[in-house]
Each structure stands twice: as structure tokens, then as C-alpha cells.
Chain A
Amino acid sequence: MIRSLLANPRLANWLYGFTPPERGPVVLGHRRVYIVPTRLGWLFGASLAVLLVGSINYAISLGFALTFLLAGVGLAAMVQTTRNLARLAVSAGRVEPVYAGESAQFSLHLDNRAGFERPAILLRHLASGAQRVVSVPPIASTEAVIPVLAVRRGWLPLGRVMLETRFPLGLFRAWSYVEPEARALVYPRPERTATPPMSAGSLPGAARAQSSGNDDFSGLRSYQRSDSPRHVAWKAVARSDDMLTKQFSGEAAAELWLDWQQLPASLGTEQRLSRLAGWVLAAERAGALYGLRLPAVAIAPDRGEVHFSACLQALALFEAP
């Protein structure tokens, strides 16, 4: 019931006291830190009631003293539990792009500007349930990495994160929600069939053969059945699952156009993107010069990390909402 109410974003925003996502470091103000007794807290309270009744019944003065001292401890614990979260500054760090199906590693910096330690703070990513427990030393900041499974390509926002603490006695549970502005870029899941983009004949697009000597090593590309075993890069194979072939300048290094239009019409959008991503991956690995042509975007042939990322980003954000 409450969960379904919280699913309503407007209601949740009003309830949480902020409109997500928030830019820059989010400081957890007192109004955003909620606190309720835990089950142990209720049990503690019930025990105090029993102790009090016993003290009255047997007229034990020190029983009163004990009961009241414990009540004071409970009260002090409540203040300390709130303090453990209050004014903690939360900010999101950089996130590396991932392929769909992998986990994006969101890093959150918890910045403690107060002169006391903040132990045992739980961060829980509400959508995925991923959680981490961290302690923040006085006047320091701690990084917590929250893995979030990237299901679909495009921008993956971090979403709402709950910070929770039961320190120091576990009698109270204080929590707060943050939704820092952080998003991870999710590339389409690359197709693992690894259709070779190199075999000029079978490939669509203009492939221009270059002729040069057979001796200069120029990179690696995916293994093809016709490759000589002498050219297989065994060292690299040992490190990865894919069979790789050493490529020499003398071999055909192609300038490829990876073109959306040339893919079979039977493939859906996501499958096309997956295949293109697989090709980009393979082409980059092979050290080829490759370009990408999508219905609205065209990226000129190039190679290298920047180009590779740009291609994958274009695929990730293709017709993104």
C-alpha cells in the first residue's frame, strides 16, 4: 500500500522533500533525515516499562535510577543516530560506460564535514536493492561503489538511493533518500556472433584493400577460419575468450563503413544496434579504420579509443527518448 503510494513520483517528491535529481553535492538536512525505533528499540522500551514497574513494586531506588539512566541512553542514542546522517554531503562521481547486461559502477562520495566519525552507514539502491555499508572518518570522505545492472542501452540514471544507519545502539533506524544527478551510458549489448566486418566480399560497404608488406605487425583482428594458425595471437587468446589473429600491414587492412541500412530488414532496431556494436568492437579490436552510418548520424572512419567511444555512444543513444 505504502509502496504503491511511493511509486507515485509527485507524492514521493513531496514526501521526500526534494525534487530529483539533485545537482552537485547533496547535504542531508535535518528535515530529510527520518528516524523511527527499530524492533529492538520497541523491545528496549518495553523492557524499560517492566523495569519501572518492578522498581515501583519493590520500591528499589536504584532500580528507578537504572531505568531512568537507560531511558537517557535511549534518548542520547536517538540524537546520535540522527547525527550520524545529518549534514552528510553526498555527491556522485564519474561512471564508466558499460554494455547492456553489465553492471554500471556508480560511485558515491560521502563527505563528512563534521569532527566525528560516522560509522556503519548503509547505502541501498532502491531500484536494484544493491547495498553497501561504509564508515566515514571525521573530516574525510569515503567512496562507495554501487553496482547497478544496466538492462537497456541509453542513459541509466542512478535513481534513488537510501542512506540508513542504526548506529550507535541499533535502537533507532535513521534514513534519508538522495537522488544525485548521476547517469551511466549504456552501450547496446554487443552481439557475440562477431560477424567479421573484415571479409571485404561479404561485407556491405566500401572496403578498399591496401597492399603493403607481410612483415609489419599492425594489430589484431578476429580469427577467421581461413587464417593460418601461425598468425593466431596465442598470447592474447590466453587472456580473452576470442580467437585473435595477428594482422600485418601486408594484409588487407580495410576502411569499413558499418552501415545500418545494409543490415537485413528482418532485424529489429535493438538487434541491429547489437550487431553494429559487435562490429564496432570487432573492428576496433582488429585495428581497422571504421566508420558508422546510422539513419541520422554518420561518423567518419577512424580508429582509437575516442572514436570507438563515440561510435558506441551513437549506438547507445540511437533514437533515445
Chain B
Amino acid sequence: MSSVPHPLAPELRAVNGRELAGLILGLVIVVSPHAGRAPWWLTVLVLGLYGWRTLIAVLNMPLPPRWLLLMIGAVAMVGIRAEFHMLFGRAPGIVLLVLFSGLKLLEMRTQRDALVITLLCFFLIITNFLYSQSIPAALAMCVALLVIVTTMVGLSAPQRSPHANLRTAGLLLAHAVPVALVLFLLFPRVQGPLWGLPQDGYTGVTGLSDTMSPGTLARLALSDTVAFRAEFQGAPPPQRLRYWRGPVLWDFDGRTWRMGPTVFAPFRPPTGGDARYRYSVVLEPHNRDWLFSLETAASLPDQARFTADGEIIARRPVRERRRYELVSVANPVPDPREDPFVLQRALRLPEGFDPRAIALADEWRRSSSSDSQILARAIDWLRSSRIAYTLEPPLLGPDSIDEFLFDSKAGFCEHFSSAFVFLMRASGLPARVVTGYQGGDLNPVDNIVTVRQSDAHAWAEVYLRGRGWLRVDPTAVAVPSRIESGIARAIPEGEAVPLLMRRELRWLRSLRYNWEAITHKWNVWVLGYDPQRQRDLMAFVGIRDSDWRNLTAALFVVLGVLVALLVAWSLRQLARPDPVQRAWHHFCRKLGARGVRRAPSEGPRDFSERAARSLPRAREGIQRIGDLYLALRYGAEAPAAKIDELRRLVRELRVT
């Protein structure tokens, strides 16, 4: 055996223009979502590298020397290091991969390099999913996959038309879908992560934070991003009752409210209440450990703990979409028991801030006989204060509470709640700030409440001796429409409200409701498919206590069936002879029945001549069939009309 190189060997064949075009198209689709996240200069550089390679192909220039590419790579790496302050995090790693795609393209000579780039594309696709796994992102990546697979087909079959390659690629992907579905459902899922994630693994998610200062919620309220979705069994609570409890803030330094230390407590379900709501929440990852619950939670989700101030805390920060079940009660009877140290903490105020607010609180204290009277006076004062509700609050100086209450008289919910809790504490009532979300959009299509960052809210809780903690929403007191009908009505005309929050675009809303319903299904069934869901599915089909062993067994059985089907498909295609051949076989069978059997070595011409001699009555037909068959089988063309004629002749042949 000699070792002549294979003419189709990927390390030998140069890449042609069409293959290059396919590669660049695939790369552009795959890289474009990164363009918004990568530093702008890198995007420009990488596009420039693609353009350079295209130019080289068009003008038939030599490829740049390797040292030049290494230099470009080194300079770009220094830039990335400067931009991200590291090289091996998640974001810089992805940017490096994008850069590498451009450099690899420029040193691509042979098919083997091209194939390495196609593999690189697969990695770039998955890096996109780190940022967005939405339906449009998935569709875009499907298009990219089709382009890449088409290019791969083209690489293995040169001189084939792109159209035929596209068809082959489509066929391959169509065959892959059932296999992928089975693997997706049955492949034993492991709860990640397998190892420590890079430090920057989860930056860039929006959501409530553990602190609140003037402006933080107003900024958050400009975001349309979904915080979570809740699916109620039965009717959801009305808008004004939809207070979703998040972090509770205790400590104030004159400007910023903080959570302070978390105190875990055994869960005590509330007593009494108007209505019970059973619902499940699909929480978007927010990289914090708190879970949101409708006030007041009457059950605790799995893998979560309860704190003394009524927060629900997950064991780990929520870094992937998480689903949990809850029961809540509206307006329960408050529990009057409370730790004196906690109440002490709920009265603490920073020294030397906001003298006017303190004076106002002192005045209430002096002129009231009870705590509830102080509360009533405060609410009355707020209602008549004519403070405006705005998404664009003016900047405040060091005495932020005073300036808000008496000077600027305009603010967002963090201003209201902060000032109110300050006034309560100053007048001797224990109080705390509760942050979370208020309201949420009820989708009439699937009855799911979608809560967005723009629903972020802060309210107050005041402790009345003998009664317990009571919710007071100062924003609702001052601007009742905020709670009754949502943020869009409460904000004055002309201010920037997130597009989807606007009232006038009704058709847009209905479109959005349908889209939201699809998105929710996608989130729950595709993106939220985790070990738990897998166990549920297995239990549904009757396999209880599924573990990796019976999952693997089931996987192999189903995959085996699929592969058998695939092979059967290819065999069926092979076994089906063409119409000409079928007609000829029919002809041979007909003659065979009359005793004129074709010898294995006998050619069609000899056979038809012999048959014509031995069956003189059918001579003419036999000869015409023989001639037609020879023409169709060995001629240059096989027109459909001739094939039909052959079939008709064979059918009508009478050999009796």
C-alpha cells in the first residue's frame, strides 16, 4: 500500500471562496450578539479581520505572516486585560474567543483550519446562551447552526451546489431533532456547578439590591426586564394586594438603608386572613439569595429558610431560573410578639440629620395620646402634603429626608418609604423599610402575573404595641393611583415610562400578552428543565425514584429505537429501485411466468430478443419494451414521458 495523500483530506485541500463565505456568514451571526457586550474596539477589530480575510480571498493575496497575527493578538489581549482587569474571567474569556475566531480565519489555509473554525462556532453559540436564552436568541442560533452545517457539508463535498448542501444540512438537522429531544429529556441531569465559577460569573443581572438610597429604585423602574412570573391556582389577588416581599431594610445612615445582619427564625405560618393563594413562582436569576413571596407567606418553599423579619432566603444565590411553590394569605392577623432588641433596632436613627423631620415627628408625639394616633396623624399629613410621584426625582443633599418632605416635594417610592420610616422612628414607633415589587401584569392569555423590574417598590412596616407589624404604603397614601392602577397612570404625562408600561398601546399589549404566555412556557419547559423536572417527568411516565441508572437505561433504549429508525430510513431509500428498474423487473416476472426466464448473465438486449423469438405473438411489445428499457437505462437522458410509456407497455403486455 502506498501512502498517496487523500485528495479529499482536509489538511490538503485549500478553502475556496464559497466555503469562506459560508464560514464568515456563520461567524457573523454567532458573534453579532456579543458585539453589544464586547468592547467596541474589539468588535471593530474582529470585523476588520473578517473583512481582511475576505479581501485576501477576493484579490488572491497571500495570507499575512504569522508574526503579524501573533502581534495583533498580543496587543488585543493587552487591551482586553485593561478593559476587564483580568483575562480568565467569563466575559474576557468570551471576548478572547471572538478575537481568536478572527485570527484563526486569517491563518486559514486548508480545509482542516476551516473545520476547526466550524467547531469554534459551536463554542461561540453556547457562549451566547450564557447571556440570553430567549426564543429569538435560540432561533438566531438555529440559523447559525444551519449555515455552519451547510458549510461543513460543502467542505466534505467540493463542487456541489450550495443549494444541495443546504438540503443535506437540513436533512441532517431534521434527523438530529428527535435524537436531541430524547437526549434532552432523558440524559441524566446533574445539578451544577461542577467547579467554582469565575468571579465575574454572574455580574450584569438587574434586580433589587440589599441597600436602598434615593434614586436606586427609580433607576430600576426604567427596566422592562422580567423579575419573576407567578402562576396562581385559581384567581390571582387584585392589583392592590399584590405586594411581593423582598429584602427588609433596617439600618439607616442618613442616606442609605441597609439590611444589616440576617436573623433566621423558625417558620411560623400566619393566622387568620381573608384569602389564601396557592401559586408557583418562576424567578429569574438575580444572583441574590432572597426569594419573593406574596405577602404574607403561609408556607416555605423547599430548600429555603425563613428570617425573623419575614424574608424567604434560598440556600444559594439564585443563579439560574428557579421555580418554587408557595401559599400566601392576604391580610392575616399580625403577631404582636416581637423581640425587644429587634424593636430597639427598629427605632435607631442616625445622629444629626434632618432636623425639620425630627421636629415634625416630635410635634406628632406630643400631641398624640397613642401610637395608633401618631400613625393616623402621619398618614393624614402625608395625604395632604401634595408630594409628587415621579420617576425623575431631583437630586438631594445631605439632609435627604428634609429636602424631600419640605423642599423638592417630589420623589419615587424609595423617598416615600424612607421618609415615612424615618418619621415613625423619630416619633417613637418601631418601623422598617420593606423592598420588593408591587403589582405585576396579569396576562389574560394564560392568567400568569408577570412582575418586572419596573414594578420595584418600597413600603414601610410599623410596629404597634399589642398589635404587631402593620404594612403602611406611604406611596399609596400620597399617590393612590400608583397602587390601584400601576405605575403608568401614577407618573405624570411626559415622563419616560418603559415602553411596555404605557397605556395607549393596546394592540402592543395584547401582542405582548401572547408573547409573554409563550415565553413563560419556554421558560418553564425548556429553560427550567432541571433534575427536579426530570424526576417529575419520569414519575409521570411511571418510573418512580428515577436515578441516573434507570435514566441511562431508558435513554439507551429510546436512542436505540431512534437509530434503528434512522437506519431503516436509509435502507428503505436504498431498497427502492427506480421506476425504470421496477418496470423491467415486472416485465421479467411476466415473461418468467410464461417460462421465459432471464439467465443471470443475460443482458437486456439478448433477453428481449430471445423472448421475442419464443413468444412470437407478443413479439412487437417485447421488442419495444426492450428498446425502451435500453434507451432509458443506458441513454443519456430518461424523460418522464418515456418512463411512463415503458410502464404502460409492461402493464399492457399480453403474453398469453
Q: Are A70 and B122 also in contact (CB < 8 A) when A61-B133, A76-B172, A83-B573 are?
A: yes
Residues in chain A near residue B119, CB distance under 8 A: 43-44, 47
A36 at the interface (CB under 8 A from B): no
A135 contacts B157, C-beta separation under 8 Å: yes
A113 contacts B577, C-beta separation under 8 Å: yes
B527 contacts A69, C-beta separation under 8 Å: no
Interface segment among A50-58, A204-212, A219-227: the answer is A50-58
A168 contacts B126, C-beta separation under 8 Å: no
Q: Can you name 6 extra interface pairs (CB under 8 A) apart from A72-B177, A114-B574, A124-B6?
A: A43-B115, A47-B122, A57-B195, A58-B197, A59-B191, A129-B1
Return the contact of A169 from the options B153, B159, B577, B581 (Cβ within 8 A).
Answer: B153
Interface segment among B178-186, B259-267, B371-379: the answer is B178-186
A261-B618 Cα distance, complex, nearest whole Å: 61
Q: Are A73 and B573 also in contact (CB < 8 A) when A51-B123, A59-B530, A61-B527 are?
A: no
Q: Are A170 and B566 also in contact (CB < 8 A) when A72-B176, A129-B4 are?
A: no
B residues adjacent to A (C-beta < 8 A) = 1-4, 6-8, 10, 111-112, 115-116, 119, 122-123, 125-126, 129-130, 133, 137-138, 141, 145, 149, 152-153, 155-160, 164, 168-169, 171-173, 175-181, 183-184, 187, 189-195, 197, 201, 319-320, 526-530, 563, 566-567, 569-570, 573-578, 580-581, 600-601, 638
A297-B111 Cα distance, complex, nearest whole Å: 58
Q: Are A170 and B155 also in contact (CB < 8 A) when A47-B123, A51-B122 are?
A: yes
Residues in chain A near residue B175, CB distance under 8 A: 72-73, 75-76, 79
Closest to A86 in B: B574
Q: Are A168 and B172 also in contact (CB < 8 A) when A61-B526, A61-B528 are?
A: yes
Residues in chain A near residue B526, CB distance under 8 A: 61-62, 65
Q: Quote the shortest CB–CB distance from A238 to chain B (angstroms).
A: 36
A223-B494 Cα distance, complex, nearest whole Å: 109
Q: Are A77 and B4 also in contact (CB < 8 A) when A59-B193, A135-B157 are?
A: no
A272 at the interface (CB under 8 A from B): no
Q: Quote the shortest CB–CB distance from B254 to chain A (angstroms).
A: 41
Indicate with 1 or 0, residue by residue over A83-95, a CB within 8 angstroms of chain B CB atoms.
1001100000000
A139-B576 Cα distance, complex, nearest whole Å: 11
A71 contacts B570, C-beta separation under 8 Å: no
A76 contacts B190, C-beta separation under 8 Å: no
Closest to A132 in B: B7
Query: 17 interchain pairs (CB within 8 A)?
Result: A47-B119, A57-B197, A65-B180, A68-B179, A69-B145, A79-B569, A86-B570, A114-B576, A120-B156, A124-B4, A129-B3, A130-B4, A131-B7, A168-B157, A169-B149, A169-B156, A170-B111
B192 contacts A58, C-beta separation under 8 Å: yes
A55-B183 Cα distance, complex, nearest whole Å: 14
Residues in chain B near residue A6, CB distance under 8 A: 1
A44-B148 Cα distance, complex, nearest whole Å: 13
B570 contacts A60, C-beta separation under 8 Å: no
Return the contact of A72 from the options B125, B129, B179, B320 (Cβ within 8 A).
Answer: B179
Residues in chain B near residue A66, CB distance under 8 A: 122, 125-126, 129, 141, 145
Residues in chain A near residue B574, CB distance under 8 A: 83, 86-87, 113-114
Residues in chain A near residue B183, CB distance under 8 A: 64, 68, 71-72
Residues in chain B near residue A70, CB distance under 8 A: 122, 176
Most buried by A among B6, B122, B177, B180: B180
A166 at the interface (CB under 8 A from B): yes
Q: Are A128 and B2 also in contact (CB < 8 A) when A51-B126, A73-B176 are?
A: yes
Residues in chain B near residue A129, CB distance under 8 A: 1-4
B149 contacts A115, C-beta separation under 8 Å: no
Q: Quote the shortest CB–CB distance from B150 to chain A (angstroms).
A: 10
A109-B495 Cα distance, complex, nearest whole Å: 78
Interface of chain A residues 101 through 127 with chain B (CB within 8 A): 113-117, 119-120, 122, 124, 126
Closest to B120 in A: A47
A115-B582 Cα distance, complex, nearest whole Å: 13
Most buried by A among B169, B172, B201: B172
Q: Are A62 and B138 also in contact (CB < 8 A) when A51-B122, A72-B179, A131-B4 are?
A: yes
A87-B567 Cα distance, complex, nearest whole Å: 13
A37 at the interface (CB under 8 A from B): no
A124-B7 Cα distance, complex, nearest whole Å: 10
Most buried by B among A53, A61, A70, A115: A61
A70-B149 Cα distance, complex, nearest whole Å: 10
Residues in chain A near residue B563, CB distance under 8 A: 75, 79
A75 contacts B566, C-beta separation under 8 Å: yes
B160 contacts A119, C-beta separation under 8 Å: yes
Q: Quote the shortest CB–CB distance from B64 to chain A (angstroms).
A: 25
B180 contacts A59, C-beta separation under 8 Å: no
A290 at the interface (CB under 8 A from B): no
Q: Are A40 and B10 also in contact (CB < 8 A) when A65-B180, A66-B126, A86-B574 are?
A: yes
A167-B10 Cα distance, complex, nearest whole Å: 12
A239 at the interface (CB under 8 A from B): no
Q: Are A64 and B187 also in contact (CB < 8 A) when A51-B122, A73-B176 are?
A: yes
Residues in chain A near residue B125, CB distance under 8 A: 66
A50-B145 Cα distance, complex, nearest whole Å: 18
Residues in chain B near residue A86, CB distance under 8 A: 570, 574
Q: Quote the shortest CB–CB distance from A101 to chain B (angstroms).
A: 19
A82 at the interface (CB under 8 A from B): yes
B573 contacts A71, C-beta separation under 8 Å: no
Which 3 residue pairs of A and B lie closest in terms of their CB atoms, listed nearest first? Answer: A72-B176, A72-B179, A76-B175
A63 at the interface (CB under 8 A from B): yes
A121-B63 Cα distance, complex, nearest whole Å: 31
A213-B487 Cα distance, complex, nearest whole Å: 123
Residues in chain A near residue B195, CB distance under 8 A: 57
Return the contact of B193 from the options A58, A113, A170 (Cβ within 8 A).
Answer: A58
B155 contacts A75, C-beta separation under 8 Å: no
A31 at the interface (CB under 8 A from B): no
A170 contacts B172, C-beta separation under 8 Å: no
A65-B180 Cα distance, complex, nearest whole Å: 7
A60 contacts B156, C-beta separation under 8 Å: no
Residues in chain A near residue B179, CB distance under 8 A: 68, 71-72, 75-76
